[in-house]
């Protein structure tokens, strides 16, 4: 086993475990606070700091990764997630809205430090001539991560029913402590540390392809979260009458399938990734939420429209996400890669922030159909921005 593959496995293992706890925590917070009587908008506001500090972290985290090394930013992310889980392990009476928002802020910082470090690290383990291999490695990392995030959704629902909210966060914190200690020993010490010390002003990208891709990413993920984060779980519980086990299980299955499709994206797109695939796959995706909204408006069975449409949305969204994830790693510079990747994932976090807030507000005021139409419009904007990307076709590995 080569040194590069060993580091890839350590990075992926860290990312997998973190993602499992992150997905479980997301479902725990949504379902637990819905159970306590919080409105959809109030639940969405619990995640505002999570997403807002994700924006800040990605912007500054890329700079820190280039200055300090990606091993340190990844391990810092693991530690902060442990602290966030410990904050939520307090007695129920202490779980006030400001306290939960503060814990979610730490979790958002942790998640994006971990993700930025993992994605940047892959760039350094594959030569620039092996674009096909890079595409497959990024797709595998991204897809497997989302599969485990889906398992985390299911785990969150199960843990909430089995041992309660407090027991669940304590158990997850204990597992992460073991992973953090292992990572301190196994992760390469100078991974991703820039040879030329970057200036603070370098956190803002000066690359046109990266700026365009970042804009497309913002609207793409805003389009997903505007109906997926708060509106959908609450809709499934209140309109379909599903219990927490069913909601968590269904959303887990969706994200698991979504992750599997992401890993297969290089086969589906034929190892080709550039401007044209990014535009075409986004255009196809935009049709799906519009079709679901039309189905709900014209009297199609909600179960058929929502469940069937969501499955198709998952397949197409996974391909779009995998294409974008490859392109940012491919476009990024070699030295100081985390600066470009951090800027890109800052836009990703901004899109999630936009989608999360709108998901709670639009659903509460106008309903699920409005969330779906808004999703369609945001995806169309992502496709329009992608028309300006340069072509980048992977060479055979």
Q: Closest Cα partner for 158 from 46, 257, 27, 253?
A: 27
The pLDDT confidence band at residue 201, using thresholds 50, 70 and 90, is: low
Q: What is the pLDDT of residue 393?
A: 47
State pLDDT tens for residues 107-140: 888 887 877 777 676 666 666 666 667 777 777 7
Q: What is the pLDDT of residue 323?
A: 85
Judged against a pLDDT cut of 90, whether residue 313 lies above it is answered with yes
3-386: which CATH topology?
Growth Hormone; Chain: A; (1.20.1250)
Q: What is the pLDDT of residue 376?
A: 94
Centroid of chain to Cα 359: 16
Judged against a pLDDT cut of 80, whether residue 261 lies above it is answered with yes
Mean pLDDT of 34-46: 76
Report percent pLDDT > 90 for the chain: 14
**The pair of three-digit structure tokens given for residue 353, joined into one six-digit string:** 């922030």
Name which of 3-7, 109-113, 152-156 the model is least confident about: 3-7
């Amino acid at each position: 086993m080569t040194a590069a593959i060993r580091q890839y496995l350590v990075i992926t293992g860290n990312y997998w475990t973190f993602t499992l706890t992150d997905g479980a925590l997301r479902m725990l917070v949504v379902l637990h606070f819905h159970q306590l009587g919080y409105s959809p908008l109030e639940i969405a506001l619990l995640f505002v700091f999570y997403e807002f500090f994700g924006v800040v972290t990605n912007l500054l985290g890329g700079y820190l990764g280039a200055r300090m090394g990606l091993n340190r930013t990844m391990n810092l992310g693991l530690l902060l997630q442990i602290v966030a889980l410990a904050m939520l392990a307090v007695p129920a009476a202490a779980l006030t809205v400001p306290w939960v928002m503060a814990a979610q802020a730490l979790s958002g910082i942790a998640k994006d430090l971990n993700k930025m470090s993992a994605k940047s690290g892959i760039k350094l383990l594959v030569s620039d001539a092996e674009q096909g291999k890079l595409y497959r490695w990024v797709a595998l990392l991204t897809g497997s991560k989302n599969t485990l995030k889906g398992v985390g959704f299911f785990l969150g629902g199960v843990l909430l029913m089995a041992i309660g909210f407090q027991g669940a966060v304590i158990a997850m914190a204990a597992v992460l402590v073991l992973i953090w200690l292992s990572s301190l020993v196994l992760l390469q010490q100078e991974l991703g540390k820039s040879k030329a010390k970057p200036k603070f002003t370098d956190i803002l990208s000066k690359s046109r392809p990266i700026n365009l891709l970042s804009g497309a990413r913002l609207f793409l993920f805003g389009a997903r979260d505007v109906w997926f984060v708060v509106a959908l779980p609450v809709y499934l519980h209140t309109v379909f009458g599903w219990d927490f086990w069913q909601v968590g299980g269904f959303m887990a299955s969706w994200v698991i399938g979504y992750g599997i499709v992401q890993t297969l994206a290089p086969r589906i797109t034929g190892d080709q990734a550039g401007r044209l695939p990014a535009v075409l796959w986004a255009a196809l995706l935009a049709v799906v939420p519009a079709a679901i909204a039309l189905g709900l408006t014209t009297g199609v069975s909600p179960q058929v429209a929502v469940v069937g449409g969501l499955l198709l949305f998952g397949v197409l969204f996974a391909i779009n996400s995998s294409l974008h994830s490859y392109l940012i790693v491919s476009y990024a510079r070699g030295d100081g890669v985390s600066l470009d990747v951090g800027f890109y994932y800052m836009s990703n976090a901004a899109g999630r922030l936009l989608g999360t807030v709108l998901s709670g507000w639009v659903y509460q005021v106008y309903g699920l159909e409005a969330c779906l139409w808004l999703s369609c419009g945001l995806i169309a904007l992502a496709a329009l921005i992608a028309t300006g990307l340069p072509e980048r076709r992977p060479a055979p590995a």
